[in-house]
Every structure is written in structure tokens, then in C-alpha cells.
Structure 1
């Protein structure tokens, strides 16, 4: 190398895009009749389309190398691109949310137990027996939610639990195979028509910045959204 030469290449980020296996979610969705699917669409719009977006790990790892932490954007040569609220609102496919009512965590939010009871319609004993601790966070295993979806007699609650599972396993897949407590707080407030888009974007930027600094890590946000956004530009 020439004396005094400074490489313009950034440090390589070894990012993992390991995702939850969505096959069981897809099978449940395929088994539902049109009436149940329409109920889901009415309340949560077309989130199941995410099941069919294949996460290309090689493309995602390549994309991560172009994330510019200093400016919170992707820099491709002389072109800067960054996902914006309007684009992610389209990707969320939920026209009923109000863009001017962004999600923020309630000051006096109910406990994880109470939120799960409200969402699932199950008893305190049922919920308490299934809450697990994963590192610093409380979670509920997907296998318990799956069994509930298959057996629940209340169609509305069945749809709610299914939607919660999508948010926990696809949109915010923090602990593989589990739905995190933070997801239930967001989900518990979706019926107020708040938009989760700003928090989805903020968590995506935060994760990309963390991995660029550390040089490694697992992407724990919605890779499907980010790749769909990327493909919309290229």
C-alpha cells in the first residue's frame, strides 16, 4: 500500500439475520376460512404478507455494510438513503392507523401479566404459569400462544393472539421462539389506532448502529420490512 494511504472501506460487520421459523404461522393462516381472515384484515390489515418475504441473508449482510452510523442512513457511493415513516407506513399495510398518533409507552402501564390476560382472554393462573424469564426480559413462548390459537373458542381473541404473535416473532423477533414483554405493551395500545411505525424505525436504526459499533450481532428487528424497503428502491 502507498505510504500514508487511508482506506475508505468501513470495518466489516458480521451481522446475523437468524429469524424465527414462520412455517407454523403460515399453516395456521392457511387453515382459516375467509370469515376469520377478514376479521384479521379489519383489525390488523395485511400483516401476513410478511410470511412470504424471503430474508436473503447474503443481501442483508451486504446491505448492513453500507449503514452510516454517523448520519443514520445507508450510503451507497454518493447517494444517501434512509427508510422514512411514510414508506414504512405503506409497508405496514394498515390504513386504519393514525399517522399523527405515534406509540409511546404509557407511564402507568399494566403489568405483563395483566396485558397478556387482556389480550388472550385467559385466566391469571393460565398466564402466570406460562410467563418465562429470558435474560432481563419477561416473555411468553410461541408454543403456548400457538396452542391457544388452535384451541381458543373466541374467534376475536384467536385473531388477537395471532396478531400478537406476528408482532413478537416477525416485527420484533428479540428472543427466538418467544414474544417479549415490550411487544405486548405496544400491541396492547394498537386498538387506540396509534402508529407503531416510528418505534419500528427507531429500533431498526438503533440496532444497525449497535452492530456497526460492535462489528457483530443478531438483527432483532423486522428484516422483512427493511428488505422490502430496499427492493422498492432497487
Structure 2
């Protein structure tokens, strides 16, 4: 089974460069009460189906969604990185929750091969792009998240929930930057808005699966 079959098109987010000005302008129209974008009399709602399609997860059972388990994530992370639990524990840093450095993951990737290498790569993408915690660090909780995805869970509801929480926080605070998966939100915006400038009209063409 290839990378795309397991994880969808999440790796394509690495090629997306969000326009910060466009994101800030669009976030201004977010209504935290109704959880939608409001443009005069027109409302636009982020949906699970749209996010699933953009990530090529429309082939998964929409009822099989990710759920956070109350377990010690150091064991799954040690299994993923092929390191003893004690060594994993020694490398963890507190970044508003236990996190592992990207450099430690990259080192493990250099020693891994086959499916293990792809799993570590997916773990990095989810941690650095989809669910960013701190610059250069990945939350250890995503190790269990990754295993559930490999079993066919749909990640779109979890991403959408984090997106809505971040949008609500920004609007109620009055300022701040969008902290969740800005790449995916940017793609969603471009798929809904018609722009007359050629540089913004380019569609999000998916590259061949890894």
C-alpha cells in the first residue's frame, strides 16, 4: 500500500504557500457564533466532506473518525521511532504538552526504511503542518493519531474541529494569527472564491502520490 492510500494527499500540503494577507482578510468575516464565514447575506460553511475531498479522504468511511484515547503516548512513539521508551522520555520537551523535536524524528527517518520511513514522514507532516504545536516540534499524541489513520479513520473531522476552534479564538480575541493547518484553509478559500488575478486563479492540482 502506497503513501497516498494510507494517508491521502496530506503530503501535498508541503507544496502550498498560504497567502497571509488573504487569510487575515478572510478570517475577518468569520462568525464565531454561527461557525461560518458571512459575506453580507451569503454564508459559507466549512464541511467535513470538503476537507475529506481536498485531502483525498472521500474514499473512507465518514463514520470512522479519530478519537483521543487516554493512554501513555510514549510507548507508541517509541515503537514508531524504534527507540526504547526511556530514551524517548529523555528527549521529550514540554511545549504546551509533551513534544518531540523534528531533528530527533529526522534522525529516526534516516535509520528507518520501507513502511516505517513513510510512517515517520507522515508523522512529521501531521505534526508540523496539519496540527502544529510549536516550531520545530511534534506532539507525541499524534503517534496514536497516526496509527488510527492507518486503520482507516477519517482525519477530516479532527482537522476541521481544530480549524473552527482557532478561527473562533482569533475573532473573539480580535487579533492573532491562524495557528492550525493554514495550508488547507487556504486551499479551501481558493476553491470557493473567484479571483480576477491570474496568480490566484491557479487550481490546486494534486501531484502524483508518493
**Which category of TM-score, normalised to the shorter sequence, fits these structures?**
0.7 to 0.9
CA deviations on 1:111-130 (whole Å, 9 max, x unpaired) are 12112023223222332222
- Preserved CA contact (<8 Å) 1:60 1:227: yes
**What SS does the corresponding residue of 1:225 show, helix, strand or coil?**
helix
Q: Distance in 2 between matches of 1:218 and 1:144?
A: 27
Aligned counterpart, 2:182: 223
2:72 is equivalent to residue 111 of structure 1? yes
RMSD: 1.7
1:78 deviates by: 1.1
TM-score when normalising by structure 2:
0.85
* Alignment match, 2:88: 127
Q: Could you tell me how far apart the structure 2 residues matched to 1:58 and 1:218 are?
A: 11
* Residue matched to 1:160: 119
How big is each residue's C-alpha offset from its partner over 1:42-83, in whole Å with a ceiling of 9 and x where there is no partner? Answer: 322322211111110000110110001111000112110011
* Counterpart Cα distance in 2 of 1:210 and 1:60: 15
1:106-152 superposed Cα distances (whole Å, 9 cap, x missing partner): 2xx431211202322322233222211113x0000111111211222
Residue 28 (structure 2) aligns with: 65
Query: Hey, which of these two has a bigger chunk of strand by percent?
Result: 1
Look up the match of 1:148. Answer: 108
Q: Which of residues 110, 122, 133 is equivalent to 1:174?
A: 133
SS of 1:98's partner is coil
In structure 1, runs of 5+ residues without a counterpart are 1-37
- TM-score scaled by structure 1? 0.77
SS in 1 for 2:176: strand
For the Cα contact (< 8 Å) 2:6–2:149, is it kept in 1? no
* Partner residue in 1 for 2:57: 94
Counterparts of 1:193 and 1:87, CA distance in 2: 18
Counterpart residue number, 2:204? none
> Residue 170 of structure 1 aligns to a residue in which SS?
helix
Match for residue 192 of structure 2? 233
Q: What is the aligned partner in structure 2 of residue 15 from structure 1?
A: none
Matched, 1:52 2:42: no
Matched-pair contact (CA < 8 Å) for 2:77–2:140: no
> Are the equivalent residues in 2 in contact too, given 1:168–1:179 (CA < 8 A)?
yes
Give the distance between the partners of 2:90 and 2:17, measured in 1 at CA. Answer: 35
Secondary structure class of the residue paired with 1:101: coil
Q: Secondary structure at the match of 1:110?
A: coil
Is the Cα contact below 8 Å between 1:115 and 1:184 reproduced in 2? yes
1:191 equivalent among 150, 161, 179: 150
Cα separation, 2, equivalents of 1:121 and 1:99:
32
Does the CA-based 8 Å contact 1:96-1:193 persist in structure 2? Answer: no
- Determine the C-alpha separation between the residues in 1 that align with 2:139 and 2:35: 26
